[in-house]
Amino acid sequence: MLVSFLAVVAAVGVVILAARLFAKWGHGSDDREHDGTTSKHTGAMLSALFLMAFAIAIVVPWTTADAARQNTHAESQAVVGAYWSAAELPAPVGPRVQAGMRDYVRFVIGNEWSDMKHGRLDPAGWARLDTLRTEVIDLRVRGDQAEDARIAVLDQFQAISAARSQRALDAKTRPPSALLYLTALTGLMTVIFPFLVGARPRGMTMIPLGVMAALLGLGVYLSFDVSHVFSGGLRVRPDAFIAAQQEFQRIPVSR
């Protein structure tokens, strides 16, 4: 925060110093018109700064949301893979693992998804996975087929944990607050800039100014609305886990 403040002070200082030096050297002429060189240059730079901040504030969450959506599909497919492999495990571990996978998916959809809007995952989800993983690790089986199934289940649990860890990071990811506030500030300055330089829009000229202000306000709202991947307009929904529940129905249950 201090560095940002010092950067602002330094930039203003450069403007004041440049104005005094060029006035002392006799270069240039006074610019008092609202449509003069200074106003045109400043207005163009304000617009460019707003567009830059707005583009970053939209593109970064969009990219993050797309990656988070793909990760939820990877996690749900790992859950389905564990469910398939658990069908080859002997009772009672096989049925318990499959039941645990069904409970885990219901837990993610019904309990955990709402917590992710606040940037966190429920620790109970990790506890569920750890309990099932420990049970499979401790399982002693006979025959190559059962041992292959046990190894396959453990591999899928590893994939689930990795995808879940990534989902935890995605839930915490937001654009920097300074970027969002910069978008709002530059948008506001773009709207009021004509008044700051002395222009007084009247009559029909107020219509395009009003339209621009409305669109800028909408853009600033969108930049805040899409800033989190599990809430807002770009939010990732639990569609992948709902699809996993449907897929469970066609997988044989371990006996």
Neighbours of 51 (CB within 10 A): 14
Q: Which residue has the tokens 């006035």?
A: 23
Residue type, 203: G
The answer to whether the Cα torsion of 50, 55, 60, 66 is positive or negative is: positive
Q: Please give the pLDDT value at position 35.
A: 57
Q: Give the H/E segment covering residue 167.
A: helix 144-172
pLDDT, tens digit (0-9, with 9 covering 90-100), for 93-148: 889 999 999 999 999 999 999 889 888 899 999 999 999 999 999 888 787 888 88
- Among the ranges given (130-134, 154-158, 228-232), the one the predictor scored with the smallest mean pLDDT: 228-232
Report the distance separating Cα 233 and Cα 58, nearest Å: 11
Q: In this structure, what token pair is assigned to residue 130? A: 């750890």
The pTM for the full model equals 0.78
Q: Please give the pLDDT value at position 8.
A: 47
How far is residue 185 from each of residues 210, 220, 224, measured CA to CA in Å? 17, 9, 13
Q: Please give the pLDDT value at position 101.
A: 94
Confidence band (pLDDT; 50, 70, 90) for 151? very high
DSSP 45-104: HHHHHHHHHHHHHHHHHHHHHHHHHHHHHHHHHHHHHHHHHHTTSPTTHHHHHHHHHHHH
Q: Give me the mean pLDDT over the 30-53 stretch.
A: 70
Query: Quick check: 234 pLDDT over 50?
Result: yes
Confidence band (pLDDT; 50, 70, 90) for 246? very high
Report the distance separating Cα 92 and Cα 88, nearest Å: 11
Report the distance separating Cα 232 and Cα 221, nearest Å: 11
What's the burial of 42, exposed, middle or buried (CB within 10 Å: 0-12/13-18/19+)?
A: middle
DSSP 114-126: HHHTTT---HHHH
Cα dihedral 176, 181, 185, 187, rounded to 10, equals 80
**Domain ranges, ordered by start, for the chain:** 35-248
- Under 8 Å CB-to-CB from 6, ≥6 apart: which residues? none
Q: Please give the pLDDT value at position 51.
A: 86
Q: 99 with 170: CB under 8 angstroms?
A: no
Size (the chain), residues? 255
Q: Give me the mean pLDDT over the 55-59 stretch.
A: 89
- Under 8 Å CB-to-CB from 132, ≥6 apart: which residues? 96, 97, 100, 101, 104, 157
Residue type, 252: P
Query: Quick check: 254 pLDDT over 70?
Result: no
pLDDT, tens digit (0-9, with 9 covering 90-100), for 162-218: 999 999 999 988 888 888 888 898 888 888 877 777 777 777 878 888 888 888 888
Q: In this structure, what token pair is assigned to residue 153? A: 């289940």
pLDDT, tens digit (0-9, with 9 covering 90-100), for 17-39: 544 554 555 555 555 555 556 66
